[in-house]
Chain A
Amino acid sequence: MAFQLSRHAITISRRALSTSLVKSQSAKAPALNQEQVDSYYPKIGNRDIVGFGFNGNPNYQDRPEFPAPAVRWAPNTEEIQALRQKEAGDWSKLSMEEKKALYRASFRHTYAEMKAPTGEWKSILAGTLLGCAVAGWFMVWLKAYVYPSLPVSITDEWKEDMLEKAIKQQQNPVEGVASKWDYESNRWKN
């Protein structure tokens, strides 16, 4: 138990000092300082920070335009660590299940899954049409119960009377209505 604990402590401190399994094996300067390590862990759990993230943040995002996010999707478990040991060897000896397990340990969605249609357009279309329907029925209700009836000046008889009066008064004789009326034969000019 004590041995396991100390081993665990060693992995944690290595992870804290460096950013990936590979880097901990090589003797390179750590890419994260202690302050950054304290701010990111344990928020991101037992996951490796393996790269420079979107906007520099150590988080996981499935974005088609950003193929390699900063942290691995899955936390490090003993199975995946054992698989990583095997990954260090010949890749053609990995079975398809192991390859897929490795992929899903690093990434949540494949590109095909990221770009798969969600069917969301249906709810958007339904919502838009529902909004139009509500607005239409609201207008019907307003006309029935709120607005007064249209004024009498909207009727055809009223408009014809207005035209007749305009002609009698000779309104706009140069270019307007009176210029188009023949006052001698009492009809419209051609």
Chain B
Amino acid sequence: MLRIFTSRVASVVETAARANLSATSIVSRRCMSKHVVESEEEFDARYESFFNRPDIDGWEVRKAMNDIHADDLVPEPKIVIAALKACRRINDYALAVRYLEAIKDKTGPKQGEIWPYMLKELQPTLSELGISTPEEMGYDKPEFASESVYDMH
């Protein structure tokens, strides 16, 4: 009788333990985060296809520009070409020049290397769309001085 009782208790405990074990393993599997590393090609393709969407609007163009600008990188020329063409589709010339300026600023200490390369790659697109570079517009140097907002009142 005792033997039957103990074997029953043992089997119950074992089942419970197994159930518990499997439950924890499921939970732990669910809680585990899998860190997906996006490759550079995937990143480029993602933004290029985003800018190339035919129905993109001004909000989305600006958001993508601001997001790319916040990353620690200078975008590939093909992304910039797609962005300039997106500016053309939303009829915003100012934004196109602004983005060129932003990229030039983003090149930072390597401006002497990256910016001429970028201009060389962009030149066909710039002449096709009729976009003047910041240098052509005279925006590589300050054009106007303005009063600081902190000195106005």
B59, B104, B139: the one within 8 Å of A51 (CB) = B59
CB distance from B67 to the nearest CB of A (A): 10
Does residue A28 face the partner (Cβ distance < 8 Å to B)? yes
**Residues in B whose Cβ lies below 8 Å from that of A26:** 55, 57
Q: Is the CB of B129 within 8 A of A91?
A: yes
Which of A113-121, A136-144, A167-175 participates in binding chain B?
A113-121
Given known A-B contacts A93-B130, A108-B146, A50 and B59 have beta carbons under 8 A apart: yes
Q: Is the CB of A84 within 8 A of B91?
A: yes
A residues 60-114 near B (Cβ < 8 Å) are 64-68, 70, 84, 87-88, 90-94, 96, 99-100, 102-103, 105-113
**Interface digits, A19-30 against B, CB 8 Å rule (1 contact, 0 not)?**
111110010100
Chain A facing B: main interface SS: loop
Given known A-B contacts A20-B57, A20-B58, A20-B59, A65 and B70 have beta carbons under 8 A apart: yes
**Residues in A whose Cβ lies below 8 Å from that of B78:** none
CB distance from B123 to the nearest CB of A (A): 14
Given known A-B contacts A67-B101, A68-B98, A103-B98, A51 and B62 have beta carbons under 8 A apart: yes
A26 to B98 Cα, complex, angstroms? 24
What's the interface size class on A, roughly? 35 or more
**Residues in B whose Cβ lies below 8 Å from that of A178:** none
Query: Which residues of B are interface residues toward A (Cβ below 8 A)?
Result: 55, 57-59, 61-63, 65-66, 69-70, 88, 90-95, 97-99, 101-102, 104-105, 127, 129-132, 134, 136-137, 139-146, 148
Among all A-B residue pairs, the 5 with the closest Cβ atoms: A92-B130, A51-B62, A91-B130, A67-B102, A106-B94
